[in-house]
């Protein structure tokens, strides 16, 4: 096909010739997690694990406690020696007989029982705390305590009116009746006891482990339990302030209050682990000892890597074992520099999970200052109490765990964990700076450095580690593997690399180790050469992982850029106004009467919008004739169809009507309860579904006023809309099937009626666990899966959708919307290698989101099943857009999955909600007034195109030209100008961004080039909204300017892609490759 580069296009380009400079930043990329509960393949390589750990099947022996240096080791217990023949003997607190010895100073924990902790009237706070805890304990012992009693006690003790939503949900909703009773009587009574007696059990304040000090603290498990009981009631003074004091700004908050607050479901699961710990110690208090040790490596001990002659350590690699399951070794905790990371907030990755299944580790949050590059923290003897499954947002408590690990001569479990913090790389490429590599080498060496024991050989046990800092911190797994191999070798310790479920890393790391071993490599081998050799092997497995990989869900406290923070106002390229000025008014359409009916289904009578009579609403087609049914493969199978019958051959619609009428009557009488709504949904949906998220929203999140309004006025209106679907939608909507070029146009009222049916999950056969052949290529449009138990973002998405119903109850919008499926015929497919199209004008911004840039075609980063996970747990760009514009959800009802040469346009859908944040931190943020103008059909000037990217489980596959060609075709199809009354009206700008670069693992730079080529080939300007991604904006603009200077055409960019993707051993990015390669060299 010839390029769409007509004289009209040239005229358009001449209007937009003033270019300005603008940006790119590093958005955190969401990566799909392999389900952590999959039964792993038993792949292991290297030295057998048994050969590494057989020397250390018994715990390391330590000098007797009496001999430890009291200046560097604080013992909170009397000198104690564990006797295996008397395992239940428990160490006593030091100075037990002398009573509590207070230390209210900056080097010690400020204890809640201190007499120096006072109110403004100088009265000790502890007296009030004791009174409150004593009253609660009495109620527990009398089996009269309620959750409200517990909440009131926490509020008074914490000194503020905090939200305790997650704690309440766990205790009052998730616990079975017997669990609830047991906790509120026996377990809670014991927690009160432990907190009340903290001044007895901990007869002196624990010292703080401050930065720069080599210092240890040893305590009994009972003392740790007493401190954690204080944290349960959030008693530690000044640690939970919104603005921490100078004294505590480098410490974590050890109080549990933030964990209790509203948040994703993993917060509740973490609480289940911690409360299970309290249940276990209530049943039987453990009698062991634990130590927290801060180690700061003196500068004199820092290794000289370039001169190190240390031989490489033995290594065992496994993909079937988790670090915490490998006994007899030093286990690595992939730590935050603030130890514990997000364990007491929303974080839920390796460190947070470990602290939840071993809650005694939480004491470290109380005493440990943030770590410096030459420091680590050892946690010795902490017992494990809980099993778990899943990871990040899928994490779940999975019952009791019996820890049978033997004890050392101090009575500590043979469980040595080292917390070592990685650097967070918002821009992943910065990790290849040698300064950052040297920092991580120092950190790993410090953490692996053998510590003193009675027998020096015991200090050289193996190290169990893995892909340290390679999740949300964006580390390169292979670079981190080399770094840890070097550190372990320099420390003279064998390495056990637990790369859970990562078969490719196990194989490639083993190949590199074998190669180096055969070369008799020493640590003096140049670090760059080692990294280069690793990358040479790596090309067999995957291309250099320079793309940011992260976001599980789990937010990294203190590191993650929030999606709603005020962005820097950085823009480059052509002024935005110059692109959109010619399109301030909506594209004008031919009158509805003139449209070809074979390709366009109108569910309304021909309608022309008149701005002077904006209140006029389109009416359903054939309104007077009544409902005309179509029960076949080309139309939506409607719940009101007489052809819809159940197993008893009776149409369910009369029963559905009866249920909805009964519910509506109760709403109108202000008598409806949530149980009435739940019963109606269950009967209408035809199955006993879980609707936890809907229940939490309406009964717990909503205020009394919001709940009353929803259960009366709004719910009554939703019933009305569903009851009248056969009147409002006088015929079923047509399905937009694969291969069709077809439109469906309806009124906003008709869309509301269809969504009301989805609210009650009425659409037949669409929610079946095994969809039939006619439905398997379609999404499920019913809301029932959104109601089911899941992360907090499901509740926030429901808030957006129910806000939409509130808005249309207050005032029904009277506009029109269109859903269009476009399938590009093969005759129109471009020949990229021959395209002479000039590069389009481009505007780049890091401060605007796609949905906020009007008068342009807005790209929706779609799933091939349109809507993606909007009605389940998904919550990224597509899902968020559908929630703030719920009329888009109708597309799930009518659109079959997309093929590579297809896209779907959503035209005129109104926006109703504001929001903040992204993914698991997404929040509904109130009402949004959409003031966009309407076209002559009555549709909002909001054109959105859903174009689906390829998912690359293996990111290196995206550099196969077959896949590049697929994405070029997809983008070209989506940007291809559609019919309008005036030709120029079809060439408005395209607003896009890092399409397919989150969970789908796309390369941001490659996708930018692909979209620039597609926009240029169709002759439309490109607006690139790289939100908060300053580096992408700057680098894309630099590449664009370079290409303009070279007078590049689309065919030249295609040659760049061919050359780049077919080269071997390319560690540079596509932008770097373009900037160093003149166009003239491509022709040779």
Quote the Cα angle for 776-780-781, to 5°. 140
- For residues 139 and 133, the answer to whether their CB atoms sit within 8 Å is no
**Strands 990-992 vs 330-335: parallel, antiparallel or unpaired:** unpaired
Cα separation, 623 vs 605, in Å, equals 8
Burial 964-997 (b: 16+ CB within 10 A, else e): bbbbbbbbbbbbbbeebeeeebbbbbbbbbbbbb
- For residues 270 and 352, the answer to whether their CB atoms sit within 8 Å is yes
Sequence-ordered alpha helix ranges (H) in 724-777: 725-728, 748-759
Residues paired with residue 821 on neighbouring β-strands, in sequence order: 742, 904
Rounded to the nearest 10 degrees, how much is the dihedral formed by the CA atoms of 622, 627, 633, 638? 130
Instruction: Quote the tokens at residue 691.
Output: 């609707």
Q: Is 391 annotated as a binding residue?
A: yes
Q: How many other C-beta atoms are found inside a 10 Å radius of the C-beta of residue 864?
A: 19
Cα separation, 1023 vs 1000, in Å, equals 22
- For residues 958 and 950, the answer to whether their CB atoms sit within 8 Å is yes
The closest alpha carbon to 949, from 2, 22, 29, belongs to 29
- For residues 868 and 895, the answer to whether their CB atoms sit within 8 Å is no
Residue 351 among the catalytic residues: yes
3-state secondary structure of 587: coil
Q: How far is CA 509 from CA 316, 477, 515, in A?
A: 10, 10, 10
Residue 352 among the catalytic residues: yes
Sequence-ordered alpha helix ranges (H) in 64-212: 125-141, 147-158, 165-169, 177-182, 188-196, 198-201
Q: How far is CA 1027 from CA 561, 564, 870, 928, 1008, in A?
A: 11, 10, 21, 20, 14
Cα separation, 651 vs 635, in Å, equals 18
Q: From the candidates 5, 333, 780, 896, which is the catalytic residue?
A: 333
The closest alpha carbon to 25, from 546, 576, 426, belongs to 426
Compute φ and ψ for 772, nearest 5 degrees. Answer: -75, 175
Cα separation, 407 vs 221, in Å, equals 13
Q: Is 782 annotated as a binding residue?
A: no
- DSSP states of 925-979: EEE------B-TTS-BS-EEEEEEPPP-SSGGGGGSHHHHHHHHHHHHHHHSPPP
Q: Which helix (H) or strand (E) holds 806?
A: helix 792-810
Residue 22 is classified by DSSP as -
The closest alpha carbon to 232, from 204, 190, 186, belongs to 190
Cα separation, 393 vs 487, in Å, equals 32
Among all chains, which residue has been given the structure tokens 């009116």? 161
The closest alpha carbon to 759, from 684, 810, 669, 671, belongs to 684
Q: From the candidates 168, 269, 352, 860, which is the catalytic residue?
A: 352
- For residues 490 and 558, the answer to whether their CB atoms sit within 8 Å is no
Q: From the candidates 5, 351, 440, 502, which is the catalytic residue?
A: 351
Among all chains, which residue has been given the structure tokens 């199809």? 973
CA atoms within 13 A on the CB side of 947: 32
Q: Is 190 annotated as a binding residue?
A: no
The closest alpha carbon to 307, from 531, 529, 525, 530, belongs to 525
CA atoms within 13 A on the CB side of 534: 23
Instruction: Enumerate the known binding-site residues for substrate.
Output: 336, 350, 391
Catalytic machinery residues? 333, 351-352
């Amino acid at each position: 096909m010839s390029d769409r580069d007509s004289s009209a296009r040239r005229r358009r380009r001449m209007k937009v010739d003033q270019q300005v400079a603008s940006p790119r930043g590093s958005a955190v990329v969401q990566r799909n997690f392999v389900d952590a509960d999959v039964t792993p393949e038993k792949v292991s390589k290297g030295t057998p694990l048994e050969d590494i750990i057989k020397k250390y099947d018994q715990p390391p022996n330590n000098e007797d406690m009496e001999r430890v240096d009291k200046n560097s080791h604080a013992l909170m217990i009397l000198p104690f020696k564990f006797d295996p023949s008397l395992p239940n003997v428990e160490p006593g607190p030091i100075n037990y007989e002398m009573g509590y010895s207070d230390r209210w100073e900056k080097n010690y924990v400020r204890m809640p029982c201190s007499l120096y902790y006072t109110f403004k009237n100088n009265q000790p706070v502890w007296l009030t705390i004791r009174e409150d805890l004593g009253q609660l304990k009495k109620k527990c012992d009398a089996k009269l305590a309620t959750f409200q009693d517990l909440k009131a006690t926490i509020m008074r003790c914490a000194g503020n009116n905090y939200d305790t939503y997650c704690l309440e949900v766990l205790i009052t909703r998730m616990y079975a009746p017997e669990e609830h009773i047991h906790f509120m009587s026996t377990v809670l009574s014991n927690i009160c006891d432990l907190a009340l007696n903290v001044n007895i059990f901990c007869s002196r304040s624990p010292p703080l482990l401050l930065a720069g000090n080599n210092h240890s603290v040893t305590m009994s498990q009972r003392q740790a339990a007493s401190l954690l009981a204080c944290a349960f009631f959030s008693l530690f003074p000044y640690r939970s302030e919104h603005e921490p004091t100078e004294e505590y700004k480098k410490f974590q908050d050890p109080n549990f209050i933030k964990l209790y607050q509203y948040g994703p479901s993993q917060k509740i699961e973490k609480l289940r682990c911690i409360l299970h710990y309290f249940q276990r110690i209530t049943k039987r208090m453990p009698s062991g000892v634990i130590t927290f040790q801060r180690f700061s490596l003196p500068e004199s001990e820092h290794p000289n890597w370039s001169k190190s002659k240390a031989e490489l350590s033995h290594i065992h690699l496994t993909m079937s074992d988790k670090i915490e399951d490998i006994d007899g070794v030093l286990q690595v905790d992939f730590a935050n520099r603030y130890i514990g990371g997000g364990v007491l907030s929303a974080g839920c990755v390796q460190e947070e999970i470990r602290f939840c299944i071993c809650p005694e580790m939480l004491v470290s949050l109380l005493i440990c200052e943030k770590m410096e590059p030459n420091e680590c923290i050892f946690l010795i003897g902490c017992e494990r109490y809980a099993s778990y499954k899943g990871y990040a947002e899928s994490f779940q408590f999975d019952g009791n765990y019996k820890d049978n690990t033997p004890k050392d001569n101090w009575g500590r479990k043979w469980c040595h964990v080292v917390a070592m913090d990685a650097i967070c790389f918002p821009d992943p490429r910065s990790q290849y700076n040698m300064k950052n590599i040297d920092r991580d080498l120092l950190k790993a060496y410090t953490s692996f450095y053998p510590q003193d024991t009675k027998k020096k050989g015991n200090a050289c046990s193996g190290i169990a580690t893995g892909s340290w800092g390679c999740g949300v911190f964006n580390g390169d797994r292979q670079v981190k593997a080399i770094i840890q191999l070097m550190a372990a070798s320099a420390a003279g310790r064998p390495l056990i690399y637990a790369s859970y479920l990562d078969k490719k890393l196990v194989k490639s790391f083993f190949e590199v180790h074998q190669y180096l071993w055969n070369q008799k490599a020493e640590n003096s081998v140049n670090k760059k050469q080692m990294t280069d050799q690793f990358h040479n092997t790596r090309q067999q497995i995957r291309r250099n992982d320079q793309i940011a990989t992260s976001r599980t869900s789990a937010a990294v406290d203190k590191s993650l850029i929030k999606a709603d923070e005020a962005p820097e106002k950085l823009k480059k390229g052509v002024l935005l106004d110059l692109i959109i000025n010619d399109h301030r008014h909506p594209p004008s359409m031919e009158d509805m009467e003139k449209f070809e009916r074979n390709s366009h289904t109108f569910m309304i009578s021909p309608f022309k919008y008149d701005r002077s009579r904006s209140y006029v609403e389109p009416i359903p087609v054939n309104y007077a004739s009544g409902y005309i049914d179509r029960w076949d493969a080309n139309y939506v199978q409607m719940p009101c169809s007489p052809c819809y019958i159940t197993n008893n051959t009776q149409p369910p619609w009369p029963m559905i009507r009866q249920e909805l009428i009964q519910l509506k009557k109760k709403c109108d009488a202000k008598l409806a309860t949530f149980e009435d709504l739940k019963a109606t949904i269950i009967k209408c949906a035809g199955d006993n579904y879980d609707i936890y998220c809907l229940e939490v929203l309406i009964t717990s999140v909503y205020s009394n006023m919001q709940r009353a309004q929803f259960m009366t006025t709004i719910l009554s209106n939703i019933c009305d809309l569903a009851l009248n679907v056969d009147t409002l939608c006088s015929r079923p909507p047509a399905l937009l099937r694969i291969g069709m070029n077809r439109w469906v146009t309806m009124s906003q009222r008709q869309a509301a009626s269809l969504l009301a049916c989805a609210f009650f999950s009425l659409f037949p056969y669409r929610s079946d666990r095994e969809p039939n052949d006619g439905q398997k290529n379609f999404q499920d449009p019913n809301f029932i899966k959104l109601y089911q138990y899941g992360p907090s973002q499901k509740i926030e998405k429901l808030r957006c959708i129910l806000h939409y119903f509130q808005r249309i109850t207050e005032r029904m919008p009277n506009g029109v919307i269109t859903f269009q499926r476009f399938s590009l015929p093969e005759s129109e497919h471009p020949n990229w290698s021959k395209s002479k199209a000039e590069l389009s004008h481009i505007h780049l911004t890091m401060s605007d989101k796609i949905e906020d840039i009007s008068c342009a075609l807005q790209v929706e980063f779609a799933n091939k099943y349109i809507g993606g996970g909007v009605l389940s747990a998904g919550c990224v760009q597509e899902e968020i857009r559908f929630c703030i514009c719920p009329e888009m959800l109708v597309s799930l009802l009518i659109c079959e999955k997309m093929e590579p040469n297809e896209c779907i346009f959503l035209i005129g859908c109104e926006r109703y909600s504001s929001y903040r944040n992204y993914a698991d931190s997404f929040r509904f943020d109130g009402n949004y007034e959409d003031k966009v103008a309407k076209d002559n059909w009555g549709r909002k000037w909001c054109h959105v195109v859903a174009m689906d990217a390829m998912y690359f489980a293996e990111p290196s596959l995206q550099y196969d030209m077959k896949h590049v060609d697929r994405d070029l075709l997809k983008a070209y199809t989506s940007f291809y100008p559609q019919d309008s009354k005036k030709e120029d009206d079809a060439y408005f700008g395209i607003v896009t961004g890092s399409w397919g670069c989150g969970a789908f693992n796309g390369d941001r730079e490659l996708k930018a080039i692909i979209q620039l080529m597609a926009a240029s080939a169709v002759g439309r300007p490109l607006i690139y909204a790289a939100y908060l991604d300053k580096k992408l904006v700057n680098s894309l603009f630099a590449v664009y300017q370079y290409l303009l200077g070279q007078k590049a055409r689309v065919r030249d960019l295609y040659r760049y892609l061919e050359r780049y993707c077919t080269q071997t051993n390319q560690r540079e990015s596509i932008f770097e490759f373009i900037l160093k390669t003149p166009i003239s060299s491509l022709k040779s």
